[in-house]
Amino acid sequence: MLGAIEAGGTKFVCAVGDEKGHIVDRIQIPTTVPAETMPKVVEFFNQYPIKAIGVGSFGPIDVNPESAAYGHITSTPKPGWRDYPFVQSLKDAFSVPIGFNTDVNAAALGEVTFGAAKGLDSCLYITVGTGIGAGAIVQGKLLQGLSHPEMGHILVRRHPNDEFRGKCPYHHDCLEGLAAGPAIEERWGAKGDQLVDRMEVWDLEGYYIAQALMQYVLILSPKKIILGGGVMKQKQVFISVYKYLKEFINEYVSLPDLTEYIVGPGLGDNAGITGSLMLAHQAFQEENQR
Amino acid sequence: MLGAIEAGGTKFVCAVGDEKGHIVDRIQIPTTVPAETMPKVVEFFNQYPIKAIGVGSFGPIDVNPESAAYGHITSTPKPGWRDYPFVQSLKDAFSVPIGFNTDVNAAALGEVTFGAAKGLDSCLYITVGTGIGAGAIVQGKLLQGLSHPEMGHILVRRHPNDEFRGKCPYHHDCLEGLAAGPAIEERWGAKGDQLVDRMEVWDLEGYYIAQALMQYVLILSPKKIILGGGVMKQKQVFISVYKYLKEFINEYVSLPDLTEYIVGPGLGDNAGITGSLMLAHQAFQEENQR
């Protein structure tokens, strides 16, 4: 039996299941401070004979196995979690292999294994919600270099009619600053689900997301693009994304039919937790190959 | 003995050497039309007992082994080369394994094997010259997905004082349209080597390249960035790149000392041809593992 944690900034989803993605039991725990949240995590997993745990975590995190800070959440502003040794605290409690990656990389892994990108060796998973983040599978492996990607903060061109300053504390009007949920709410004065009929809201949203996709396509050339997260539940955004991406690319690269190339998550809201199960499976296999 | 072709839009460099990157003989052949250029390529290699050939080619090219157009140059505007079956024509002449990738991916492979990124499993090689292109090594392998990257055409934010329209026939003011050699020449009315003392030229150039690097860093997180090509021989551009990249990133991700992280090619003008030798070596090894 494998354990999985989808560690979000608002809640932790913990689950137990198997390497085929079947989930046997799951709970949600509010993300408060580690001293409160983590004992509940431990209590949950203590009920089961787990042989590995996979964690898809909010970030930024240190995923470099050669780094002294490997397995830590690093510079998050979230009280109590800055420099938190996530992997070590789980190892202390369970003495099993721990897989550790970003929440969005976990979701990409879930989608490439069982979801919308099943059977491919390459995909990009983007979440558009409270923040914007993306994970990628490149040639069958989770994308990693110096660190994990931070694709939500790329620079975009401001729409000529958009005077909203942007909400990113680092870059003001980067992609996340202009297009994540809080930016939509502040720009239009209401939450997304109260703006469903305002076409201009979703047209602008698609304009920014399509710019990001143009950059991702030209740099990574993913075989499938999956758009998830709360904002993407407004399905009208996809229409705008297709329209603007076609305009921006202007036939410079040839892409599959956009409605098949850029899709919602095949696993729905389970992409992250399923991918975290896969991280557990990978960690178990790596440990046993040694 | 291995053969290598660095197939550029202006000239072909052909070389023979070994898997340690030693070059024994080399020639340059003008890139005119295949019926003229290719017989000279064949004549050169016919002098040597080569056991594989690696090609780093101008593009776009088809690098997907499962595609019917694998090994072709595809939609180039260059007369005679559109849909040219590059790999097949070499196989017909030599009956040896042929490695085939983009010129910039070859240069990245050269740099990661013997140059500025030696010993790393990740690097990004960018050329800024007549055009802008980039190749990448990710987790030890040449980056490839649906197709090869086309990083030169990403969108950038126009500098508020820059009114130059841009020269890209597809996107007008994408990175290549604003920052490649021809854009510099048209904007300032002179070629780069006549503008050496005009600080504003290189400051603006660095502004655009730094924006591109911000996107590449956030999306790919390379362990080393190598800037080559004719424009980057103006070393003052590096200073401007460091300045603007620091400003754009604004400490959101932590990077090594920029003067060590972003460097010129360790192999100088030999990155591409050396990488092409490595493509030959890889093709030979793959053939003999079957």
What is the per-residue pLDDT for B232? 97
What is the per-residue pLDDT for A289? 84
Place of tokens 């539940």: A233
- CB-nearest to A155 from B122, B138, B211 is B211
> How far is it, in rounded angstroms, from Cα B100 to Cα B289?
18
Cα distances (angstroms) measured from residue A56 to each of A53, A105, B68, B198, B254: 10, 7, 39, 50, 21
What is the per-residue pLDDT for A76? 84
* CA distance to partner chain A, nearest, from residue B207 (Å): 13
What is the per-residue pLDDT for A290? 72
Residue B50 has pLDDT above 80, yes or no: yes
Residues of B with CB below 8 A from A139's CB?
Answer: 138-139, 141, 144-145
pLDDT category of residue B289 using cuts at 50, 70 and 90: confident
Contacts 24+ apart (CB under 8 A), B70-78: B70/B100, B71/B98, B71/B100, B75/A254, B78/B9, B78/B31
Residues A146, B122: C-beta atoms closer than 8 Å: yes
**Over residues B249-261, mean pLDDT:** 95
ipTM: 0.95
Tokens encoding A51:
């042989």
pLDDT tens string for chain A (290 positions)? 999 999 998 899 999 999 999 999 999 999 999 999 999 999 999 999 999 999 999 988 999 988 999 999 998 878 899 999 999 999 999 999 999 999 999 999 999 999 999 999 999 999 999 999 999 999 999 999 999 999 999 999 999 999 999 999 999 999 999 999 999 999 999 999 999 999 999 999 999 999 999 999 999 999 999 999 999 999 999 999 999 999 999 999 989 999 999 999 999 999 999 999 999 999 999 998 87
Residue closest to B266 by CA, chosen among B129, B119, B100, B59: B119
Residues of B with CB below 8 A from A155's CB?
Answer: 156-157, 211, 214-215, 248
What is the per-residue pLDDT for B139? 94
What is the per-residue pLDDT for A77? 79
Residues of B with CB below 8 A from A251's CB?
Answer: 170
What is the per-residue pLDDT for A48? 98
> How far is it, in rounded angstroms, from Cα A166 to Cα A183?
7
Residues A156, B155: C-beta atoms closer than 8 Å: yes
B69-105 pLDDT, tens digit per residue, is 999 999 887 889 999 999 999 999 999 999 999 999 9
The per-residue pLDDT of chain B, averaged, comes to 96
Residue closest to B227 by CA, chosen among B280, B182, B175: B175
Q: Let me know if B164 is exposed, middle or buried by CB neighbors in 10 A (0-12, 13-18, 19+).
A: middle
B184-208 pLDDT, tens digit per residue, is 999 999 999 999 999 999 999 999 9
pTM exceeds 0.90: yes
* CA distance to partner chain B, nearest, from residue A125 (Å): 12
> How far is it, in rounded angstroms, from Cα B17 to Cα B48?
10
* CA distance to partner chain B, nearest, from residue A250 (Å): 6
DSSP state of B147: S
Task: Work out how many CB contacts closer than 8 A connect A with B.
Answer: 121
Residues B170, A139: C-beta atoms closer than 8 Å: no
Q: Please answer whether residues B38 and B73 qualify as being in contact, where contact means their C-beta atoms are separated by less than 8 angstroms.
A: no
Provide the percentage of residues in chain B whose pLDDT is more than 90.
94
Those residues with Cβ within 8 angstroms of residue B26's Cβ, 6 or more apart along the chain or in another chain:
B13, B14, B15, B16, B273
Residues B219, A214: C-beta atoms closer than 8 Å: no
